[in-house]
Structure 1
Amino acid sequence: MPLIDIGANLTHDSFDRDRDAVLERARAAGVGRIVITGASREHSPKALALAQAHPDFLSATAGVHPHHAAEYTDECDAELRALHTHPEVVAVGECGLDYFRDFSPRPAQRRAFERQLQIAAENGKPLFLHQRDAHDDFMAIMREFDGRLGAAVVHCFTGSRKELFDYLDRDWHIGITGWLCDERRGAHLRELVPNIPAHRLMVETDAPYLLPRTLRPMPKDRRNEPAFLPHIVEGLARDRGEDVAVTAAATAAAARALFRLPD
């Protein structure tokens, strides 16, 4: 069954030189669909344009990452709402809170997050969520929208056991990246992934970031790309104690259901 990469930053300038080749390598590796992450006022329209250029292979999200929360104006909100009128845009986000880097002031992060949750509450699309070192505030804001939101996936999960079970208790989905393949930072994650129900589990590369450290041979430029998604799935299957085909099928089915993707 073709894999689905639920999060790849294909509008990143590192792909400008060979984006078509990157897509072909992904297809050849068994990736059947990629959801391009829209994470800023600049890149969300680019994600939509790419998805429209490759409708059989690409979908997009549209949102503003907490790093860019300071750019979230009324005009930005209107632009996002316009992007979400397109069927190729399948989720609201990447949105959330990031207190690890604080590239935008925390009050601005919270405001931008709330405004994007309002968009999701109105249009019914699933959420593509980001949370780092901000769990309590993140959960408090999400609770303010109880009963008004649809499905959600916590993208690039790297958190604690408590965080994982808080998310699962809310019936959210979990996105796993090549962080799992990092023997330094990913050991705790390897112990946690067996707890994720198959119908809540998804995989993503977060390309060009988070190149799996166990990948061989390593690309010379250290750039991650969707063609490496099978390597992540293999590691995930190993840590869950199941056949790779089982993990591949489950993650693809979960992604199709959440994002309402075509078969």
Structure 2
Amino acid sequence: MQLIDIGANLTHETFDGDRDAVLQRARDAGVAQIVVTGASREHSPKALALARQHPGFLFATAGVHPHHATEYTEECDAELRALLAHPEVVAVGECGLDYFRDFSPRPAQRRAFERQLQIAVDTGKPLFLHQRDAHDDFVAVMKNFDGRIGPAVVHCFTGGRRELFECLDRDWFIGITGWLCDERRGAHLRELVRHIPADRLMIETDAPYLLPRTLRPMPKDRRNEPMHLPHIAEELARDRGESIEAAAASTTSNARAFFRLPA
């Protein structure tokens, strides 16, 4: 049984002291490949560098998260395009809209999002998307690119029923994280994941964030890492009423096809 973590922030400074051990624990847990999230001008090049150090195992995305939208300049756009020319960089993003924290002004978020959607049009690479508390504007921006962009995955889906079905109606993939295991915020996902078609589903840790709250024993440092992906897969399979083998097979197959990863 193999799993693919489609979103792990492995360039985060909390991994600086033991990154190689983190990767080995992931391998030992059955995680066959990991897509390292690039979410800023600083970390997107680091994601590529890390992927190049581990060919065939690590891959990268390149983008600017809405929290960092104010850093999106012409120079930034050129930097992202250069990064996406590398075969190890398999998707545009993390990009999108986040109205929950509003760390960047909303007009700046929308501009940065539109620029990155245009990069996806120009490069033909899939999209790794972020959306929180901004669904209607998010869909409206995406509609402006209908028929021009390729596959898209809504990473770390946390929305409700209407949002899920609107995403599925647009043929977007859904990324499920340990949010599913959070009885305070993610209980609604337990029922919703049953409605995600098997060919539209992927899994991720979003490490070091979103440590599954159902892990036992709970790590003392509260840091999430890719070795916990099997726990998320098990919870997801149980909620969908299917075997862990079925969940692993479908999510791995989807990730390999979506990001064009080697077997």
| TMscore range, shorter length | over 0.9
Q: Distance in 2 between matches of 1:74 and 1:83?
A: 14
Kindly state the Cα deviation for residue 187 of structure 1 after the two structures are TM-superposed: 1.0
Give secondary structure in 1 for the equivalent of 2:61: strand
Question: What is the aligned partner in structure 2 of residue 209 from structure 1?
Answer: 209
Question: What is the aligned partner in structure 2 of residue 87 from structure 1?
Answer: 87
User: What's the CA shift string for 1:44-76, capped at 9, x where partnerless?
Assistant: 000000000001210000000000000000000
Kindly state the Cα deviation for residue 184 of structure 1 after the two structures are TM-superposed: 1.5
Does 2:75 correspond to 1:67? no
Give secondary structure in 2 for the equivalent of 1:157: coil
Question: What is the aligned partner in structure 1 of residue 200 from structure 2?
Answer: 200
Question: What is the aligned partner in structure 2 of residue 27 from structure 1?
Answer: 27
Kindly state the Cα deviation for residue 185 of structure 1 after the two structures are TM-superposed: 1.1
User: What's the CA shift string for 1:155-184, capped at 9, x where partnerless?
Assistant: 000001000000000100000000001111
Question: What is the aligned partner in structure 2 of residue 131 from structure 1?
Answer: 131
Question: What is the aligned partner in structure 2 of residue 224 from structure 1?
Answer: 224
Q: Distance in 2 between matches of 1:16 and 1:4?
A: 22
Structure 2 length-normalised TM:
0.99
User: What's the CA shift string for 1:11-66, capped at 9, x where partnerless?
Assistant: 00000000000000000000000000000000000000000000121000000000
1:74 maps to a residue whose letter is E
Question: What is the aligned partner in structure 1 of residue 4 from structure 2?
Answer: 4
Question: What is the aligned partner in structure 2 of residue 14 from structure 1?
Answer: 14
Question: What is the aligned partner in structure 1 of residue 190 from structure 2?
Answer: 190
Structure 1 length-normalised TM:
0.99
Question: What is the aligned partner in structure 1 of residue 140 from structure 2?
Answer: 140
Q: Distance in 2 between matches of 1:35 and 1:217?
A: 26
Does 2:128 correspond to 1:110? no
2:70 maps to a residue whose letter is A
Q: Distance in 2 between matches of 1:219 and 1:172?
A: 33
Question: What is the aligned partner in structure 1 of residue 262 from structure 2?
Answer: 262
Q: Distance in 2 between matches of 1:3 and 1:71?
A: 34
Runs of 4+ in 1 over 2 A off after TM superposition: none
Give secondary structure in 2 for the equivalent of 1:242: coil
Q: Distance in 2 between matches of 1:183 and 1:105?
A: 31
Q: Which runs of 5+ in 1 are unaligned?
A: none
CA RMSD of aligned residues (A): 0.4
Q: Distance in 2 between matches of 1:247 and 1:230?
A: 10
Q: Distance in 1 between matches of 2:30 and 2:52?
A: 21
| Overall identity of the aligned pairs, in % | 81
Question: What is the aligned partner in structure 1 of residue 244 from structure 2?
Answer: 244
Q: Distance in 1 between matches of 2:135 and 2:232?
A: 25
Q: Distance in 2 between matches of 1:99 and 1:185?
A: 17
Give secondary structure in 2 for the equivalent of 1:174: strand
Question: What is the aligned partner in structure 1 of residue 233 from structure 2?
Answer: 233
1:7 maps to a residue whose letter is G
1:146 maps to a residue whose letter is D
Give secondary structure in 2 for the equivalent of 1:140: helix
Question: What is the aligned partner in structure 1 of residue 152 from structure 2?
Answer: 152
Equivalent pairs counted in the alignment come to 263
User: What's the CA shift string for 1:200-252, capped at 9, x where partnerless?
Assistant: 00000000000000001111100000000000000000000000000011000
Q: Distance in 2 between matches of 1:56 and 1:260?
A: 12
Q: Distance in 1 between matches of 2:133 and 2:237?
A: 27
1:200 maps to a residue whose letter is R
